[in-house]
């Protein structure tokens, strides 16, 4: 069995004064050993909440895990207590975020922070933990790591901080690494270096990566498989080549068209999908994408299309245009 993590029918809702926000609403997917699954969609589509749900980091209240299972190595971790989750977080499933400053503690040195994770999860002595920390920093391409471990987060550049985060995340050999927009705040050159580094580290360690991004350029670089989310639901899933060569859902097609391309004058032309992402407390009836979809039919405004399997089952799409071509 190659499946490492399976999310089944996950519903994470937020109970607010404005009503119930179904941030994640019936999401199911699997991550296999050693692969990179990219979760893509515009901001507010539920990708970060999905990631935070896997680690049970959603603040409850106002959030609530309404239904679902998160099977890690076959065991459901959604019912676990905070104490139990602390043993899983960082050790079995690690996470890196867009802005490392929010997850690095400004008052501790880099070395102390990496070492602490190693001491907690691997029961190492401090001297050994520091030794491992230095090695990890060297692996992620930080020059003179012996000096760097004595520095504080603010003394490092954004790119260096993200390398530290990767070093920290991988220092306990997690089975799964969840990366939420880890390169979004970085300039293009540094972004390319970090993506390279992540691929290289993955080859060495075999860690499965769940990579969250709104950037299809990043998806093309990183993904084995892709899940496309819209308004809290998965609307399309497939191998990366399938998504790029033969996208099925009109939203995916819109995302692909919105990759900046150079126009004749050499300027970047960005074709953004028209219309707004709907607010979660006022989702349109039927298909949530219908107000923005140029193919919308009557049925799209009445009934929500289910995610159906096409072909051998690994290819999925939720769109009325596809019904009849797949099997339920
Ligand atoms: Fe467009 Fe209808 Fe498909 Fe939704 S179900 S994406 S509105 S064609
Ligand atoms: Mg996000």
**CATH code of the domain in which 316 resides:** 3.40.50.300
Residue 193 has pLDDT above 90, yes or no: no
How does pLDDT run across 213-260, given as a tens digit for each residue?
A: 999 999 999 999 999 999 999 999 999 999 999 999 999 999 998 876
305 lines ligand 1 (CB under 6 A): yes
Q: How many domains are there within the chain?
A: 1
Query: DSSP 3-state assignment of 114?
Result: helix
Residue 62 covered by a domain:
yes
Ligand nearest to the CA of 293: 1
Range of the domain at 83: 3-92+174-322
- CA of 249, closest atom in ligand 1: 6
138 in a structural domain? no
Q: Evaluate whether residue 226 is within a structural domain.
A: yes
Highest mean predicted confidence (pLDDT) among 24-28, 108-112, 263-267: 24-28
Q: Is residue 144 part of a domain?
A: no
**Region of residue 90 (left: phi > 0; alpha: psi -120 to 50; beta: else):** left
139 within a domain of the structure (yes/no): no
Instruction: Give pLDDT tens digits for 152-172.
Output: 999 998 888 888 988 888 888
Between 327 and 9, name the one with better pLDDT. 9
Which ligand number lies closest to the CA of residue 292?
1
Ligand 1: which atom is nearest the Cα of residue 235? 6
Nearest ligand to residue 49 Cα: 2
Q: Is residue 165 part of a domain?
A: no
pLDDT average, residue stretch 17-39: 95
User: Would 241 be classed as within a structural domain?
Assistant: yes
Ligand 1 neighbourhood includes 307 CB (under 6 angstroms): no
Q: What does the DSSP 8-state code read for residue 319? A: -
Does the beta carbon of 250 lie inside 6 Å of ligand 1? yes
Q: Is the CB of 238 under 6 A from ligand 1?
A: no
**Does ligand 1 come within 6 angstroms of the Cβ of 320?**
yes
Q: What's the pLDDT score for residue 261?
A: 63
Residue 50 in contact with ligand 1 by CB distance below 6 A: no
| 187 in any annotated domain | yes
Atom of ligand 1 nearest to the CA of 250: 6
pLDDT in tens, 177-189: 999 998 887 788 8
Q: Is the Cβ atom of 287 under 6 angstroms away from ligand 1?
A: yes
The rounded mean pLDDT for the chain is 89
Global pTM value: 0.90
Query: Order of strands, edge to edge, in the sheet holding 308-310?
Result: 93-96, 176-180, 208-213, 36-40, 225-230, 233-239, 315-317, 308-310
The predicted pLDDT at position 297 comes to 95
Query: What is the complex's ipTM, to 2 decimals?
Result: 0.97
Contact 132, 206 (CB under 8 A): no
Distance of CA 255 to the CA centre of its chain: 17
- pLDDT tier, 66 (very low <50, low <70, confident <90, very high otherwise): very high
Ligand 1 atom, smallest distance to 294 CA: 1
Instruction: Report the C-alpha gap between 73 and 5 in whole angstroms.
Output: 6
């Amino acid at each position: 069995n190659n499946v490492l993590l399976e999310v089944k029918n996950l519903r994470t809702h937020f109970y607010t004064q404005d009503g119930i926000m179904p941030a994640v609403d019936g999401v199911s997917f699997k991550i296999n050993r050693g692969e990179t699954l990219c979760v893509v969609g515009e901001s507010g589509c539920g990708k970060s909440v999905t990631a935070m749900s896997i680690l049970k980091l959603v603040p409850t209240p106002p959030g609530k895990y309404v239904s679902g299972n998160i099977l890690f190595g076959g065991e459901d971790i959604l019912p676990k207590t905070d104490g139990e989750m602390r043993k899983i977080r960082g050790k079995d499933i690690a996470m890196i975020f867009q802005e490392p400053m929010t997850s690095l503690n400004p008052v501790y040195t880099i070395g102390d922070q990496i070492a602490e994770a190693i001491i907690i999860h691997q029961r190492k002595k401090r001297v050994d933990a520091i030794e491992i920390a230095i090695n990890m920093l060297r692996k992620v391409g930080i020059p003179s790591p012996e000096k760097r471990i004595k520095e504080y987060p603010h003394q490092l550049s954004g790119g260096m901080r993200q390398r530290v985060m990767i070093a920290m995340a991988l220092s306990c050999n997690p089975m799964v690494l969840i990366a939420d927009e880890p390169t979004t705040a970085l300039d293009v050159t540094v972004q390319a270096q970090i993506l390279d580094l992540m691929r290289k580290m993955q080859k060495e360690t075999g860690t499965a990566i769940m990579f969250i991004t709104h950037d299809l350029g990043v998806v093309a670089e990183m993904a084995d498989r892709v899940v496309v989310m819209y308004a809290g639901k998965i609307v399309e899933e497939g191998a990366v080549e399938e998504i790029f060569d033969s996208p099925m859902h009109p939203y995916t097609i819109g995302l692909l068209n919105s990759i900046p391309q150079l126009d004749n004058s050499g300027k970047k032309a960005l074709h953004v999908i028209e219309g707004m992402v709907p607010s979660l407390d006022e989702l349109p009836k039927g298909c949530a994408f219908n107000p923005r979809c140029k193919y919308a039919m009557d049925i799209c405004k009445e009934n929500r299309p289910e995610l159906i399997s096409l072909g051998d089952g690994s290819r999925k799409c939720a769109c009325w245009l596809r019904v009849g071509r797949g099997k339920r």
